[in-house]
Each structure stands twice: as C-alpha cells, then as structure tokens.
Amino acid sequence: MTKKIVLVLAMLSCLALAGTARAQAPAPDPAAAAPAAPAAAAVAITDADLKAAVKPTDRANGDPDGSLTGTANDIAISDAKAGLTVADVLNQIGANRIGVNFAWTLLCGFLIMFMQAGFAVVEAGLCRAKNANHTMMMNFMVYGVGMLAYFLIGFPLQMGGAGAIANLGGTPVLNSEFVIHLFGKDIGLFGNTGYLLMHHGTYDVAVMVIFLFQMVFMDTTTTIVTGTCCERWKYSAFMVSTMFLGAFTYPIFANWAWGGGWLAMLGANFGLGHGYADFAGSGVVHSVGGITALACALILGPRIGKYTRDGKPNPIPGHDIMWVLCGCFILAFGWFGFNPGSTLAMSGNGGLRAASVAVNTMLAGMTGSFGGILYMWIRYGKPDASMSGNAFLAGLVAITAPSGFVNPVASAIIGLIAGVLVCLSCEFVERVLKVDDPVGAISVHGTNGIWGVLATGLFADGRSNYGGSWNGVAGNVTGLFYGDAGQFVAQLMGVATLVGFVFVMSYVINLFIDWFVGQRVSAKSELAGLDVPEMGAVAYPDFVLKPEPALAS
C-alpha cells in the first residue's frame, strides 16, 4: 500500500514538474514558426485519413458537377515511399495561398495594361483628326519606351530596396536601399538591386510578379503626359522625355512612397501616422503624371490658335466624342485591376479587403461623373460630354490612394468632390494659368491625384488591416477625421514633395530635352497636322480634313 502511495506521488510530481516546465517555456515566435512548414517532420497520413478521399477510379465516368475534381489525390507528394504526409499538405496550402495571390496580382496587372488602350482612344478622340495618328502612336510607343526604361533602370531604383513582400511569398532579394543619415534617421533615397531582373538573385518568380504589376503602373504615368502635350509635341522629344520619366522621375518618387523610401518611413522614423499612405497611386502614379504634364506643357506652350493675342482661350473641340467616352469605360474597367489589385493578395493579410476596394472604386467613379455633370449643367446649361468623362476619371483618380483605407460613404464623398474639382481646375488651368491642356490631364490626374492623397489623410477610418501594420507601423491607417493628425501631415509631406520636388525634376529634365532635341514641332507642321510631318501617314486617309483657317486664307 505504501509503495502504491509513493508511486502515485512520484507520478504526480513528474506531471507537475512537466507542467511547470511547459509554462516557463517561451512562447513560440510566429515569425519563426511560419517558414517551418517545409521542414516539418514527415508525419504519415494513415489509410484511415484517406479512406474518404476520392479515388482516381471514381472519375471513370467523368465529373459533370465538379465534385470529384480537386481532391487529396491532387496534392503533390514529395516522397513516394512515405506517401502523403502532413508536410506535403502544409506545403500545398502555402503554395495555394501564394498561387492565388500570384494569379490575382498578375490578372490585375493585365487589366491595367489594357488601360493603355483606354488612354489612347480618350486622347485621340479629344484631339483633332489631323493629329489622330500622332496621338495614337505616342500612346502606342509609350508602352514600349517606358517599359524599356523601367526594365533597364527604373525598377531597380524603385523596388530594389522594397524588402520582402509577404503576400507574394517574400522577395528577400530586393534588399538594397541607398540611404543617407539625416535628422538621426536613415533616409531612403533609391533602391539598388534588381538590374535587368537578373542582378543579385532577382531572377525570382515573386520579383517577376511585382515587376509586371509595377511596370504597368509606371506606364500609366507616362501616358498621362502625352494627352496634355498632344498636337504639338515632337515625336523624338516625346520618346526621350518618356524614357527619363520611366527611368528616373517616376521610380524615384515611387521608391520614396512604395519602395521603403523616406516618405514611407515617415511613420516609423518621425511618428507621422503610418508614413505616407498611397494605396494604389493617386500621388505616385497620377500626380506624378499630371505634374510632369504641367511642366512639359509650360515648356511647349499652347497650340496655335488656342489663345487670342490678349490671352482669351478659344475652344478646340476633339474629333470623336464616341471614342472619348468609350475610352473612359475601358479605363474604368482597368481601374478594377489598379485599385483592388494593389492588395497584392486575395489570400491572407487583408487580401479579401479587395472587395471593399473594388466597391469604393465604383462608387467614386459614379459620384465623380455626377458631380461633373451637375456642375456643367448648372454652370453652362448642358451636361458636357467630355467633362463628364473627365469627371468620371477624376473620381477614379481621387479614390485611388484612399480606396484601401476608407469606407463606402467616404468614397462617394471623395468622388463627388473630385467631379466638381476637375471642372474648376480645368477652368483655372485654361483661363488663369493659360496652360493649354487638350485633354484636361493636369486637372484629372494632377489636381485630383493630390486631392486623393489628402483625402486619405482625412477619411481613412482605421478599419483596414493588412497584416497588422502599414509601412512598419503597427495598427491601421487612420485619418484626421478619425483622430490621427500625424497621418494628415504625412500626406501633406507627400504633396509638398510632388509640387516642390517632382515638378522641378520634371521641368529641368524636359528643359534639357528642349535644348538638345527641341520639344515643339514647327508652326508649319502644327498647322498642317502632325500625322504627315511626324508620322508619314494620316489616321483617316479616306476623310477630307477641314483646313485650318490660317492655311485656307
């Protein structure tokens, strides 16, 4: 009896000690646990586990309702002798998650690429028929020229120091950011790896995905400028200017905002909210394009006949309003890649928020067009078609930065304000600044891009969660109206950088191009239309074009 009591006490003591030891053990580090999946011990899954699984023979008669397709039989087995193991299942789960995110991001990138067609027909429709070929060819070549510059130089500058992107399985090779030490902090200026997508191990599937997605963003920026400068821009100057925009201007600002540069780190380094937050690029893509367009338009000057000698503007209507509005729909379609795709995920880390982003995008486009139509109807008595299209796009531009951080009501408000703002801005640019912008790109993309950046700092509701942090700051992005003044200051800093740095950089680059190449075509070519002098063929050979009054007389 005594022996039994001693034995029971000994067992209880052992259990107590074991429990104590477990309680004192450090909690497992989730970060360390995450990559352990491939190295997990191979635990065999028994026949009982697979008993309910579908057998390949079950599909002998086909699978009309799909219930037999996609089963345990489709999981890749690493060791045929061991059979299906828990490690195999875990690896398959990880591969599926990243596969879903790859597919989502790539498809959204393809949608964005199609926006080039939208920009092309909007801009061509808003120019005169005698310049249609030239305008289309600028939009056509902006894709190739911009991509080449981005491939050679731009991508490494922008994303070379971006670090690991967890939603794409990690991109640890993009780890080299050039920094200077200022104000006691590291100030990231540009990335420095990923040249030719081969340098420093960047021949990597995740890097390819992020390259494709970022490349089409950059191309959107470059195509904004062609609209403002159409009908008088020398084709050779356009190509050189686009090359510099794709290689330097865009990537530098994009690095600061998205590549781990100093704007993104304003929160972590200086306590300003979560740093500059620009979900899909109101500032990075649209404002950079719009501000560069302003710089180029100042250097080029207005089209002949746009202003009288005393500075009063003359209307120069485009030649095909059908193409303009059709192009707006193409752009709106592509915007569903632009904004929702910027989650870079459908699985994990807030990827499902893409649904909210998509709805916000729809709403802002709708209210934007309403705002523009109502403004034009009240002010001029008619719902002007081209301004309606521009207001539609303005709503989309303005929601691009906040789309991932705001609620649907805020999206509708942001779009409505954008729709009115673009009308006011177009009038200001044309009548006060006396800058000739045939398509209104400065107002649509520049002004409303800035509005989108500011709107993020005002309306972000702190309910978006992308893996628990943003730009290395824990918690959710929260705007001024929801209590974080620091976030609004970070957004203002982005605006100051756009108007104070990006404008100057764009202006200086294009001034040099003007000196060396010459930006503007001759007056004779401009009056004749650029299709023949610049491109060698007209867009509509079977049409009789109305001659310019100056040539007819």
Partner 1 sequence: MTFVGLAVTFLGFVIAFISLGVTDSTAVRMGMVLAGIAVSLFGIMGLITPAYQKTWIWKR
According to DSSP H, which parts of 428-502 are helical? 441, 448-459, 485-497
Least distance CB 485 / partner 1 (angstroms): 5
Least distance CB 23 / partner 1 (angstroms): 42
Instruction: Give the angle 77-83-86 at the CA atoms, nearest 5°.
Output: 75
- Decide if residue 205 touches partner 1 (CB under 8 A): no
Nearer to partner 1, 269 or 360 (CB): 269
The DSSP element (H or E) to which 148 belongs, if any, is helix 132-149
How far apart CA 210 and CA 343 sit, in angstroms, is 12
- Burial track 339-368 (b if 16+ CB lie within 10 A, e otherwise): bbbbbbbbeebbbebbebbbebbbbbbbbb
According to DSSP H, which parts of 273-353 are helical? 288-300, 321-338
With contacts defined by CB under 8 A, name the span among 140-148, 244-252, 378-386, 486-494 that binds partner 1. Answer: 486-494
Least distance CB 497 / partner 1 (angstroms): 6
- Burial track 483-497 (b if 16+ CB lie within 10 A, e otherwise): ebebbbbbbebbbeb
- Decide if residue 424 touches partner 1 (CB under 8 A): no
Nearer to partner 1, 51 or 524 (CB): 524
Least distance CB 496 / partner 1 (angstroms): 4
- Decide if residue 381 touches partner 1 (CB under 8 A): no
- Decide if residue 180 touches partner 1 (CB under 8 A): no
Instruction: Give the angle 218-221-226 at the CA atoms, nearest 5°.
Output: 130
- Decide if residue 497 touches partner 1 (CB under 8 A): yes
Of residues 483, 500, 518, 547, which one binds partner 1 by CB under 8 A?
Answer: 500
Of residues 36, 196, 504, 546, which one binds partner 1 by CB under 8 A?
Answer: 504
The dihedral of CA 74, 77, 83, 84: what is its sign? negative
Nearer to partner 1, 110 or 270 (CB): 270
Which SS3 state, helix, strand or coil, does residue 408 take?
A: helix
Contact status, residue 531 vs residue 319, Cβ threshold 8 Å: no
Residue 13's identity, in one-letter code, is S
How far apart CA 218 and CA 285 sit, in angstroms, is 7
Window 15 to 54, contacts with partner 1 (CB under 8 A): none
Nearer to partner 1, 338 or 488 (CB): 488
Window 230 to 289, contacts with partner 1 (CB under 8 A): 266, 270-272
Least distance CB 320 / partner 1 (angstroms): 26
With contacts defined by CB under 8 A, name the span among 54-62, 95-103, 299-307, 461-469 that binds partner 1. Answer: 299-307
Of residues 468, 523, 543, 546, which one binds partner 1 by CB under 8 A?
Answer: 523
Which SS3 state, helix, strand or coil, does residue 363 take?
A: helix
Least distance CB 127 / partner 1 (angstroms): 18
Contact status, residue 185 vs residue 212, Cβ threshold 8 Å: no
- Decide if residue 200 touches partner 1 (CB under 8 A): no
With a CB cutoff of 8 Å and minimum separation 6, the contacts of 321 are 125, 385, 386
Of residues 12, 77, 180, 182, which one binds partner 1 by CB under 8 A?
Answer: 182
Instruction: Give the angle 203-206-207 at the CA atoms, nearest 5°.
Output: 50
Nearer to partner 1, 183 or 536 (CB): 183
With contacts defined by CB under 8 A, name the span among 7-15, 96-104, 389-397, 430-438 that binds partner 1. Answer: 430-438
How far apart CA 480 and CA 492 sit, in angstroms, is 12
Window 78 to 137, contacts with partner 1 (CB under 8 A): none
- Decide if residue 492 touches partner 1 (CB under 8 A): yes
How far apart CA 257 and CA 162 sit, in angstroms, is 10
- Decide if residue 496 touches partner 1 (CB under 8 A): yes
With contacts defined by CB under 8 A, name the span among 84-92, 152-160, 294-302, 398-406 that binds partner 1. Answer: 294-302
- Decide if residue 152 touches partner 1 (CB under 8 A): no
Contact status, residue 491 vs residue 456, Cβ threshold 8 Å: yes
Contacts with partner 1 by CB under 8 A: the residue count is: 36
Of residues 386, 453, 488, 509, which one binds partner 1 by CB under 8 A?
Answer: 488
Least distance CB 174 / partner 1 (angstroms): 26
Contact status, residue 303 vs residue 317, Cβ threshold 8 Å: no
DSSP summary character for residue 39: G
Least distance CB 454 / partner 1 (angstroms): 10
Of residues 99, 485, 512, 518, which one binds partner 1 by CB under 8 A?
Answer: 485
Of residues 165, 247, 264, 299, which one binds partner 1 by CB under 8 A?
Answer: 299
- Decide if residue 467 touches partner 1 (CB under 8 A): no
The dihedral of CA 366, 368, 371, 374: what is its sign? negative
With a CB cutoff of 8 Å and minimum separation 6, the contacts of 314 are 305, 306, 307, 308
Window 309 to 328, contacts with partner 1 (CB under 8 A): 309, 311
User: Residues interacting with partner 1, by CB under 8 A?
Assistant: 182-183, 266, 270-272, 294, 298-299, 301-302, 304, 307, 309, 311, 433-435, 485-486, 488-489, 492-493, 495-497, 499-501, 503-504, 507-508, 520, 523
